[in-house]
Structure 1
Amino acid sequence: MSHKHSMMILYLIAAGMVLGLLAGWYFGEDVLVIKWIGVLFMNALKMTIIPLILAAVISGVASLGDVRKLGRPGGLTMLYYLCTTLLAIVVGLILVNLIQPGVGVEMTAQAQSAGSSLAQEKGGQSVVDILLSLVSPNLVKSAAELQLLPLVVFAVIFGAAITTVGEAGAQVIRFFDGLNEAMMKLVGWIMYFAPLGVFALVATSLGEAGGGEAFMATVAGIGKYVTTVMLALGIQAVLLFLIMLFLSRRGAVYLTDMMRALLTAFGTSSSSATLPITMECAKEHGLSERSVRFVLPLGSTVNMNGTALYEAIAAMFIAQIYGIELGIVEQGLIVITATLAAIGAAGIPQAGTVTMLIVLSAVGLPAEGIGILLSVDWFLDRFRTVVNVWGDACGAAVMNRTMMADEEKAIAEVFEDKIEEAEA
């Protein structure tokens, strides 16, 4: 996509988001007649996720050449994502302890009932369940349910395997390289529909909440909680930017180039659905193919800064409502479980609410407490998805230098081998 077209779509998405907020605010439930437009846009994006992730990760891993070289970039990427996730949780815990948003808030019977229903419907995963989810016995079922973590694990292993089988493997690599290019072209076409899709998604979400007056009445009841989450997400986004600025030397231009992905993340409330656009924006900015194909898909499945931060704040908020004191040990347990829960969370709307059950169970908090969060979760979920996507984008920028250094080293080794062959 040309730069001119990219900027035009960016402005139209921003306009669609603003108009969607206005339409949902004033028309309320009447705006639900256009809900099908948002669903159609989401389906179009989801349609590209599985083939794009498989093609991008397999070709990205294969481009590293010798499978032994996968360890360094892979290990550094996971270390970076782990550190930023832990940073997000710490930011959330500091603010929630300072602001104390749950003190003085009363849990209504309706909210308790809603939370209890969610807990019974979704059930709770354990840490063991998350570990077991790394390897799927049925990849087709995982793909159908958009369980991306086992697919990424398979793609990494498969990509490493085909680098070891000579010419037969080279033919497979060329196939996935071509598939990746074709999928990126398809994503470019879908993006022309993005402004209308974002408008419909934002408008209908606010409309389902009852319109502007009903939403503001809800926020008034737990305004300190909403403020705490929003402030923490803002601080985390700024910290990610500063880390990226320091480690990759990319500034505001990168943020501008990623804006289409960030606005789409706000509209769709799904980091997985936004992944194709994130990859397109990173590629247009000039990041290396290795960074785009390997780091971003990995980040979209294991790096959920916004989700981890939200779960830490929400757990403490519920504890404060019930008057339960959580000490250093319990908050340390929240750090561990929120990290694992964020890794295990699907990149779909409000997936963090479901994985919250892991965190609450770990520190002995009642699952019914989730009910008070549901009324504003659809709104906060959009902002934490933006931070999730921004965290992935910053990770790709930071790791880009490592990826390019490895690529230059590999090229130098090839030239050295050819020179030695010529001299022999």
Structure 2
Amino acid sequence: MISKLRNLLSHIKLIHQIAMGLVLGIILAIGLPESVPLIRVFGDLFVKALKSVAPVLVFFLVINAIAQKKPSQGGNMKPVITLYMTSTFFASIVGVTFSFLFPTSLALDTASAASNAAAPSGIGEVLYNLVMSTIDNPVSAILKANYISILVWAIIFGVALKSMGGVQTKQFLDDTAKAVTKIVGWVIHLAPLGIMGLVANSVGSEGLSALLGYMKLLAVLISAYATVALVINPLLVFTRIHRNPYPLVLTTLKESGIYAFFTRSSAANIPVNLSLCRRLGLDPDMYTISIPLGAAVNTAGASVTISVLSLAAAYTLGIHVDIPTALLLCLVATIGACGSSGVAGGSLLLIPVACASFGINNDIAMQVVGVGFIISVLEDACETALNSSSDVLFTATAEFEKRRKEGTLKSGDMELRRG
């Protein structure tokens, strides 16, 4: 019976299995609400498994990529980082523009008290924390999923092992990286059950009742996310590869964005993105570094969230925002977004930093953070989908641009490989 079921599922694309899990999760949450506590276990286990294996995967993949790298191989990260930062800055402009076009006020006096976590006191603290995170203890970095530090230590170990030149050591690293990748593949194939549990829990516990009072704010945010994903990012891609960008854009949204939408964690989506890069035929020397780096600093969705909610607070308090101040907000949102964590709701605690640009005190700003948590059922899911899918999009764009300049870019390069 189990073998027949496995054989049947092997003929159904994983994305279709996920869709089935999604629908089943909604049906069970509505029709059998008493089953939700049991079903949510699948979702919690799925996300926990992804988060658990991702730091180990990144650590060994990067070490292996650096240790095995030959002098003639590429791996220049500058084009990818440039795309990451450009997209994040333009996303903040989109967020500010939508806020100007559709100004939104908040009922701050009735908002949630938000989180007890301390928000950063300013951009200086954000930058300080970002720099200090690079020198975390390597074991602690893996335990806490500090991907900036993991990358730094993995590169250091990789360079050291490369200089040693031991064939057996390099073979061990290669086998270890392949073994961890295989484990990740097993976890990803549990996605249909995981998504079913996540959806059932969201529908069963939250529903849409908490969102009704904030539909306009949600509409502004989601419209801004969609504009970045379907207009700004394709334009950036087109300027680099001079080809129709939408097949690649839609592929990354479907193959990466859907996972990220439900896990609501760029960090948890790292294994999915690494697998997608492999299926796109990208250079592992590039994507084993750019994908975990993107989970930390490529946060266009976060910059939209920070700018829109900060301006909503300003409108609520009757604060006039001129163009120079709006541009300053874009810069603050860009820097702040890069300092946000790759976990669910990671961008919300950066809102007080942006609110400080308007002289809004921390008590009010933290009420805005509370609003963010209220609407995070949809807002954070869409934000993460944009962030994580664009990690693959810009990694692929940088490599395809290089191939175009070399005259080796083919029409089939931007299509997915099987397996």
> Which bracket does the TM-score occupy, shorter chain normalised?
0.7 to 0.9
Return the letter of the residue paired with 1:241: P
- CA 1:243/1:64 → structure 2, altered by over 3 Å: closer, same or farther? farther
SS in 2 for 1:272: coil
- CA 1:20/1:364 → structure 2, altered by over 3 Å: closer, same or farther? farther
- CA 1:323/1:174 → structure 2, altered by over 3 Å: closer, same or farther? farther
Q: What is the CA–CA distance in structure 1 between the aligned matches of 2:276 and 2:350, rounded to whole Å?
A: 29
Q: What is the CA–CA distance in structure 2 between the aligned matches of 1:69 and 1:87, rounded to whole Å?
A: 28
- The Cα of 1:390 is off from its aligned counterpart by 1.6
Correspondence for 2:230? 238
SS in 2 for 1:271: coil
- The Cα of 1:122 is off from its aligned counterpart by 3.2
Q: How does 1:9-408 map to 2 (within 5 A)?
A: 9-24=14-29, 31-62=36-67, 64-66=69-71, 73-102=76-105, 105-109=106-110, 111=111, 113-115=112-114, 118=115, 120-124=116-120, 126-163=125-162, 165-168=163-166, 172-209=169-206, 211=207, 215=208, 217-239=209-231, 240-248=233-241, 249=243, 251-252=246-247, 255-256=250-251, 259-365=254-360, 366-367=364-365, 368-401=367-400
Report % sequence identity. 25
* Structure number with higher helix proportion: 1
- CA 1:372/1:13 → structure 2, altered by over 3 Å: closer, same or farther? same
Return the letter of the residue paired with 2:120: G
| CA deviations over 1:82-129 (Å, ceiling 9, x no partner) | 111111111111111111122xx43233x1x513xx2x4333252343
- The Cα of 1:225 is off from its aligned counterpart by 0.7
**Contact 1:13/1:260 (8 A) holds in 2:** no
Q: What is the CA–CA distance in structure 2 between the aligned matches of 1:156 and 1:18, rounded to whole Å?
A: 42
Return the letter of the residue paired with 2:320: E
| Greater alpha carbon shift after TM alignment, 399-408 vs 261-270 | 399-408
CA RMSD of aligned residues (A): 3.0
Q: What is the CA–CA distance in structure 2 between the aligned matches of 1:257 and 1:7, rounded to whole Å?
A: 20
Return the letter of the residue paired with 1:101: T
- The Cα of 1:174 is off from its aligned counterpart by 3.8
| CA deviations over 1:360-386 (Å, ceiling 9, x no partner) | 334432322222232111221001111
| CA deviations over 1:287-319 (Å, ceiling 9, x no partner) | 222233222222122101111111111111111
- CA 1:68/1:16 → structure 2, altered by over 3 Å: closer, same or farther? closer
Aligned residue pairs, count: 391
Q: How does 1:407-418 map to 2 (within 5 A)?
A: none
Return the letter of the residue paired with 1:122: A
- The Cα of 1:19 is off from its aligned counterpart by 3.3
Return the letter of the residue paired with 2:221: V
**Contact 1:133/1:149 (8 A) holds in 2:** no
**TM-score between the two structures when normalised by the length of structure 1:** 0.82
- CA 1:173/1:309 → structure 2, altered by over 3 Å: closer, same or farther? farther
- CA 1:358/1:303 → structure 2, altered by over 3 Å: closer, same or farther? same
